[in-house]
Structure 1
Amino acid sequence: MTASLDSPLPRGDPRPAWAGRHGTALGSVRSTVRSRSPFATSIKESRMRARTKLLLAAVPASIILCAATESPTPQTECPVATRVAQPHLRLDSLGLVPDSGDEVLAPDSPFAVPDEFVVEFHSNESAALRATHPHGADLLAGPTGVDAIDGFGMRAGVLSLRPLHPSADPLRDQLLGRPDVSGWYIARIDPSVTPLATAISAALADPGVKQAEPIGLHPVYAVPNDGNYPSQWFLNQSSDKDIDAPEAWDVENGSPSIIVAVLDTGVRYYHKDLGGVNASSSNTTAADGNMWRNMAEVNGSAGVDDDSNGYVDDWIGWDFVSSAIASCWSGEDCSTADNDPRDFNGHGTHCSGIVSAMNNNGYAVASAGGGFGTGSNTASGDGVEVMACKIGHSASYFGQEVGYVSMAYAASALTYAANKGAKVASCSWGSSNSGGLASALDYFIASGGLVFKAAGNSNNQTADYMCGRSDVYSVAATSQTDTKASFSSYGTWVDISAPGVSILSTWHNHAASSSDYVAYMDGTSMATPLVASCAAVVWSKNPSWTRTQVWDAVRLNTDPIDALNPSYVGKLGSGRVNLHKALGGGGPPPPSGPKYLLSLSGSPSLPGIGTVPPEDIVQYDAGTATWSTYFDGSDVGLSGKTIAGFTRQADGSLLFAFTASSTTIAGLNGGPNGTTITYNDVVHFVPTSFGANTAGTWYFLFDGSDVGLDTSSEAIDAVCLTSAGYLAISTTGSPSVSGLSGLADEDLIFFVASSLGSTTAGTWNWYFDGSDVGLSSTSNEDVDAAFVDSTGAIWLSTLGAFSVTGVSGDGTDVVKFTPTSTGSTTAGSFSMLLDGSAIGVPSGGNVTGVALLP
């Protein structure tokens, strides 16, 4: 039996669903758990590593009503409302268990969700479960037909399962170099029958379970004509202790192509400074402005998962809250995960406005990345887009309203955001290594995204789980004088600081929900989305940059504040963020230009490195105009072989095809013919080192003969990954594969795999039709190298001389195709990306593969 995310199972029947109608009685289940789990009272905390530290809730100092009129008149007359009763919290009794000096979230902690935990099954079990219950099927509430899973359910007293990451695709993620998160599920129990600690003990003892974790719940931290812009000191003030927003806006003010996922209590997407003048609380699809919209669903059919991501009608994001994670505040939506991520608490709306409230629209407030409008409030915006990911809600804590978030909901939101194109995640809440959060962070970062995390409001040096990670960037808060905010946490683990005192932004006031408000709030909650917004603006100016380049531009171009904070030297990160400097103004230049990876035929001689064999990959640094060897094929068994195509995955590993009809690679693992491959195959190289001493391991990835590529004209001569992570190829001639016709050597087709390796299976789809955009079927215009960058642009090189609208060249060049549509009806425009002759590639040194190095 299955149910949708929109319809959580009732909690009335405490009997494990796996028991069926004639299943084990409740007492027997409990007895079974105890008898099969001798360590039930000694949970393996070291496997959970759920270090946690509560951060203070962000505090609204006051809220201001924006006039109900939709007139572009500046709203300076908005009256000040009474202070919101949501004070700072300092919660001491965390239920923490010491573990070698670390802090570990105990399953019986009051800050662990009592009736749910997350479990990761081993690959065999999760594959069997996906085969019988597609990942989009949200709740499993009966026997699954998979013996190992049903046995686990009985032993752990599980009532239902639902996937933590409904859109996970292990084969796609393997190609993208992202971790496989498809084995993670949320298990629901009845704690009055099977206590959480007992259930997790049973799970950890189960042979089909890889790991199990409790789910931590944590509090949230909390010159345009916009009417309240003069009150937004953090954007601009006379003392210049601000982010220099007006100067930055002269350079860049944000692009809708860059998406910031705000993981929080939801977003008032119908606030007219976020969703535009037509935004409506009663019509989710009416919102636009600077809100991210899933156009595949907006333009699709209601009730249908048009983009097949496991979430139906996710027009404007998703509400991941499927059940209350703490006592639900009256009026809040805590019971149903659905496609309406509206905010009740207000915290998420405030953070979203800091990211991208619409600029120069005559309404409410401004933001670092809000674009620059026409002077009046309009339906659509031109700033960075806010993706609404509701992962928490208002709850009652000793009678006071507090915003809480769930680590499991955060984990689901991170993979959702990565798969829908978010570049930046803003996280203004406390964290613990629980609920599957670690693997979800790995997934988002491997997708090329930046994660910014509030340092906390405890005025101490304790880092929570996320702040302790080197690949998540922690943000401390500063005041109007560039001194540390009195409440801000600090430490050598802090990466950067940003204004976080008296920050004015959009607000949802649930006591008067029909009106738009703005509010002043304090907290590292406010500093975090400000840095996230600055990073998004830098990315807007440099859309081809990698996460590392963007972060370096932000991190290395701050205003120094150590001298103003002598007690915190080295503990407030690299300084206070300065957007203008990060964009290249008023300070050191941003990082050097992009670094390109190329393989070349003909053994050309390049400046500085000499002859390049056809089995090597070289690096061209556009910032310094220098060449170097990146991959030495002779070090790993490729002497005398010729690369037909390659691409680089996000994890740094490489995919290759070779030109010969038979190529032997010493040490190749998993091949159907031992260590020998053909020109229809793709292999995977996992490096341990690159450069002059290249080393690593070879694995067989794709058998073209299994899926219709078995002739010389179907030899692979270009390899890349699409934006969605599918393997795409071009061939030397006109391939004939199932489901497609009329293909030629100037085309790219992509493969949706159901299995990879020695037994490859799946379906083919059209990705790029070269004849639609001026490439002919002559041998010269055969696509010989391809790469898809982070913007979706397709880089191409041809076998010989080519001519298309706007650009012409030869096989030593790389052109950039910016599509307006792809597939069997391809459209877009070309521009020159790399002129081979200008960078030292001699005639005959044709490009056979190209990629971008982060």
Structure 2
Amino acid sequence: MKRLSWRTKIVAAFALCFGVMLVGGPIDAAQGKGFVSGELLVRQKAGASAASVRAALQAQGAGEIEEIPGIKVKRIRVPEHALEKVRTALARNPNFEFVEPNFIGQGTLVPNDTSYSSQWHLPRINAPNGWQLTTGSSDIPIAIVDSGVDPNHPDLGAKLLPGYNWLDFNTDTNDVQGHGTAVAGAAAAITNNSRGIAGVAWENTIMPLVVLNSSNSASYSNIASAIVYAVDRGVKVINVSIAGTSFSYTLQNAVDYAWNRGALVFCAAANNNTDDPFYPAALPNAIAVAATDQNDNKASYSNYGDWITIAAPGSSIYTTLRGGGYGARSGTSLASPIAAGLGALIWSLNPDLSHVEVLEILKAGADDLGAVGFDPMFGHGRINVLGSLSLAEKIVAETDVTPPVVALTSPADGSAVAGLVTLVAEVEDDQGVDRVEFFVNGNRLGQDTGTPYMFSWDADQVPAGWHRLNAQAVDTSGNVGVSQEIMVYVEQASDLVPPQVAISNPLPGAKLNKQEWVRAAASDNVGVVRMELYINGSLMTVNNSDTLAWRWMTHKERSSVFEVSVKAYDAAGNASEDTITVYK
């Protein structure tokens, strides 16, 4: 077994440019990766006003659909034809921390028709001997973020907890296609009941959370919502056997939310036999699980790379099937819940352990396969139930008394600033960060609870001259770390930022009715003072606010093609324009 190292450093920071983070390439390039049409995911900066955010969305013809609680990521609806335009515009807006498409992940199960009458993987991971120490506890549920679970399956139904369905927005968690039932059985099928199969975690309950549809696809926003939902209900072990090719700050925020609240998110590494990262598995603080076969080799399909955490059996796993039956299935979709089942057993045996300690026990108790030590095929090794439970039995949970290490990384010490300034902090902690608070001249500005830790400070609210900035981080045990102080010089800013303006009606290329309402909205870092409407170059109306609505009697027009333009001005005279072409 590997040597146990307890003081694992957890870095809750990102290397980033200090504007808004624009995730993914151009929308056309992202199309091949898969995303939800007509939707974006955005997170406003801490300190940004709700009114400014609302105005920025309205100016682009966008509207909020929902906010994912806990991580404060908004799912917004945007005109499909203008998705790239809106994404770029919001990315330039200082109120937002990131803007990204609502990418789609896929279930990671490989069809396998080979009939195995026994579960080879349980002896291979030394589960029968481990069960002499514990068979689990109903106090440690496992959340299965998937397609649901068959509530009538004899090896699953009696241990299902209430969950939620993000596809139908209700509590019906019946499996829509079978993937989730197979995953749940591998983790925690009812065992020692003289029927069916054995799960890794006999006694642990299952919380089914439905995000994967009948086409085997799940949006990142729903995956993130399910992770947060489970954490908020006290679940410490979460399994996500879904993977996508696109990095996402939304998923990172959800995984960090779980980590910082003492939960572990086990994720399938995916089945492409590549070292390309797949998400959420490759995210910091996620547990990426690769698959092994009956000979303790990397499964032929399993992904690999320096982002793999551990490995578990995933080939020809005999498990529960939708409809009450059993069968062999393969994929990292099964390796991940097998590892998650061991995580639940560790906590069942020693519930006082922290999530950091449970993860270290998983890694240290594993059997070292492949190259000595960590390697990209198996991570820290293939799990060993007895090995990890033997460690868990002996460990006395540590009391966390170590404060976080926090550094204010932007703006630079001695720099000159003006207007809206993005404060950025990087934090290191061995357990998890609860929040980061930002201060100017010793006065608290506000806080951020999700990575990357940022705050939007309006420097125009203090007099010109030198001012002190610092940050302090509070970890999940209440320990406080304080950053160094930096000095910045606040200048009286000249407003050089133009407003953003968008025409919401009519749509570009539209055929006009006999009469039509022209509607537009604008936003600005200081404020919009005037909007002007032009049709074919002629001024039609002026409005001294950030919205414009004008009734256009189009049946009186002789032309058949019209160029509609709306200009927006701020008090400093900065202006911008949106123009569309419509037809009669």
Instruction: Give the shorter-chain TM-score range.
Output: 0.5 to 0.7
- Which of 157, 160, 174 is equivalent to 1:291? 160
User: 2:104 maps to what in 1?
Assistant: 217
Is 1:113 the counterpart of 2:36? The answer is yes
Partner Cα separation in structure 2 for residue 494 and residue 111 of structure 1? 24
Instruction: Confirm or deny: 8 A CA contact 2:149 2:174 kept in the other structure.
Output: yes
> Any gaps of 5 or more consecutive residues in structure 1?
1-43, 51-95, 98-103, 129-145, 169-180, 223-227, 237-241, 277-289, 293-315, 322-335, 371-382, 396-402, 509-514, 598-618, 620-629, 632-647, 656-666, 672-683, 700-854
Q: Per residue, is there more strand in 1 or in 2?
A: 2
- Which of 354, 369, 372 is equivalent to 2:186? 354
Aligned-residue offset at 1:476:
1.0
Amino acid at match of 1:189: V
- Which of 141, 157, 175 is equivalent to 1:343? 175
Instruction: Confirm or deny: 8 A CA contact 1:218 1:404 kept in the other structure.
Output: yes
Amino acid at match of 1:162: I
Partner Cα separation in structure 1 for residue 321 and residue 131 of structure 2? 24
Is 1:393 the counterpart of 2:201? The answer is no
User: 1:14 maps to what in 2?
Assistant: none
User: SS of the counterpart of 2:21?
Assistant: helix
User: SS of the counterpart of 2:213?
Assistant: strand
Partner Cα separation in structure 2 for residue 208 and residue 499 of structure 1? 46
Amino acid at match of 1:256: S
Aligned-residue offset at 1:156:
2.2
Is 1:478 the counterpart of 2:478? The answer is no
Partner Cα separation in structure 1 for residue 263 and residue 300 of structure 2? 31
Is 1:421 the counterpart of 2:239? The answer is no
Partner Cα separation in structure 2 for residue 351 and residue 589 of structure 1? 25
Is 1:47 the counterpart of 2:21? The answer is yes
What are the residue-to-residue correspondences of 1:712-791 with 2, within 5 Å? none
Partner Cα separation in structure 2 for residue 163 and residue 251 of structure 1? 45
User: 1:245 maps to what in 2?
Assistant: 127
User: SS of the counterpart of 2:42?
Assistant: strand
What are the residue-to-residue correspondences of 1:30-179 with 2, within 5 Å? 47-50=21-24, 106=29, 108-109=31-32, 111-123=34-46, 128=50, 146=51, 148-158=52-62, 160-165=63-68, 167-168=69-70
User: 1:603 maps to what in 2?
Assistant: none
User: 2:119 maps to what in 1?
Assistant: 232
Instruction: Confirm or deny: 8 A CA contact 1:408 1:434 kept in the other structure.
Output: no
After TM superposition, the score normalised by the length of structure 2 is 0.63
Amino acid at match of 1:404: S
Instruction: Confirm or deny: 8 A CA contact 1:538 1:550 kept in the other structure.
Output: yes
User: 2:396 maps to what in 1?
Assistant: 593
User: 1:187 maps to what in 2?
Assistant: 76
Instruction: Confirm or deny: 8 A CA contact 1:669 1:698 kept in the other structure.
Output: no
Partner Cα separation in structure 1 for residue 308 and residue 67 of structure 2? 30
User: SS of the counterpart of 1:498?
Assistant: strand
User: SS of the counterpart of 2:360?
Assistant: helix
Aligned-residue offset at 1:522:
0.7
- Which of 210, 224, 239 is equivalent to 1:411? 224
User: SS of the counterpart of 2:379?
Assistant: coil
Amino acid at match of 2:58: M
Runs of 4+ in 1 over 6 A off after TM superposition: 588-591, 652-655
> Any gaps of 5 or more consecutive residues in structure 2?
1-17, 110-114, 404-429, 446-470, 486-584
Higher relative contact order (CA 8 A, sep 6+): 2
Per-residue CA shift, 1:540-577, capped at 9, x if unaligned? 001010011111111111123227x99x9553112211
Partner Cα separation in structure 2 for residue 406 and residue 105 of structure 1? 18
Partner Cα separation in structure 1 for residue 214 and residue 235 of structure 2? 25
- Which of 158, 165, 185 is equivalent to 1:319? 165
User: 2:433 maps to what in 1?
Assistant: 651
User: SS of the counterpart of 1:436?
Assistant: helix
Partner Cα separation in structure 2 for residue 455 and residue 110 of structure 1? 17
What are the residue-to-residue correspondences of 1:347-386 with 2, within 5 Å? 347-370=179-202, 383-386=203-206
What are the residue-to-residue correspondences of 1:605-624 with 2, within 5 Å? none
Per-residue CA shift, 1:755-801, capped at 9, x if unaligned? xxxxxxxxxxxxxxxxxxxxxxxxxxxxxxxxxxxxxxxxxxxxxxx
Aligned-residue offset at 1:670:
3.6
Amino acid at match of 1:696: V
User: 2:504 maps to what in 1?
Assistant: none
User: SS of the counterpart of 2:100?
Assistant: strand
Instruction: Confirm or deny: 8 A CA contact 1:350 1:506 kept in the other structure.
Output: yes
User: SS of the counterpart of 1:348?
Assistant: helix
Query: How many residues are matched?
Result: 407
Amino acid at match of 2:384: N
Per-residue CA shift, 1:693-719, capped at 9, x if unaligned? x962599xxxxxxxxxxxxxxxxxxxx
Instruction: Confirm or deny: 8 A CA contact 1:668 1:698 kept in the other structure.
Output: no
Change in Cα spacing, 1:343 to 1:45, as seen in structure 2 (3 Å) is farther
- Which of 353, 359, 364 is equivalent to 1:545? 353
Instruction: Confirm or deny: 8 A CA contact 2:308 2:378 kept in the other structure.
Output: yes
Change in Cα spacing, 1:107 to 1:415, as seen in structure 2 (3 Å) is same
Aligned-residue offset at 1:473:
1.6
User: 1:802 maps to what in 2?
Assistant: none
User: 1:330 maps to what in 2?
Assistant: none
Partner Cα separation in structure 2 for residue 649 and residue 494 of structure 1? 20
Change in Cα spacing, 1:113 to 1:341, as seen in structure 2 (3 Å) is same
Amino acid at match of 1:503: I
Partner Cα separation in structure 2 for residue 521 and residue 200 of structure 1? 40
- Which of 322, 335, 338 is equivalent to 1:530? 338
RMSD across aligned positions (CA): 3.6
Partner Cα separation in structure 1 for residue 45 and residue 434 of structure 2? 25
User: SS of the counterpart of 1:551?
Assistant: helix
Aligned-residue offset at 1:419:
0.3
User: 1:198 maps to what in 2?
Assistant: 85
Instruction: Confirm or deny: 8 A CA contact 1:48 1:433 kept in the other structure.
Output: no
Instruction: Confirm or deny: 8 A CA contact 1:262 1:388 kept in the other structure.
Output: yes
Partner Cα separation in structure 2 for residue 209 and residue 46 of structure 1? 6
After TM superposition, the score normalised by the length of structure 1 is 0.44
- Which of 256, 259, 273 is equivalent to 2:138? 256
Partner Cα separation in structure 2 for residue 107 and residue 157 of structure 1? 22
Partner Cα separation in structure 1 for residue 116 and residue 356 of structure 2? 32
Aligned-residue offset at 1:246:
1.4
Change in Cα spacing, 1:105 to 1:559, as seen in structure 2 (3 Å) is farther
User: 1:581 maps to what in 2?
Assistant: 387
Change in Cα spacing, 1:107 to 1:562, as seen in structure 2 (3 Å) is closer
Partner Cα separation in structure 2 for residue 445 and residue 485 of structure 1? 28
User: SS of the counterpart of 1:596?
Assistant: coil
Aligned-residue offset at 1:229:
10
Change in Cα spacing, 1:420 to 1:229, as seen in structure 2 (3 Å) is farther
Partner Cα separation in structure 2 for residue 497 and residue 425 of structure 1? 17
Instruction: Confirm or deny: 8 A CA contact 1:411 1:435 kept in the other structure.
Output: no
Partner Cα separation in structure 2 for residue 349 and residue 525 of structure 1? 11
Amino acid at match of 2:286: V
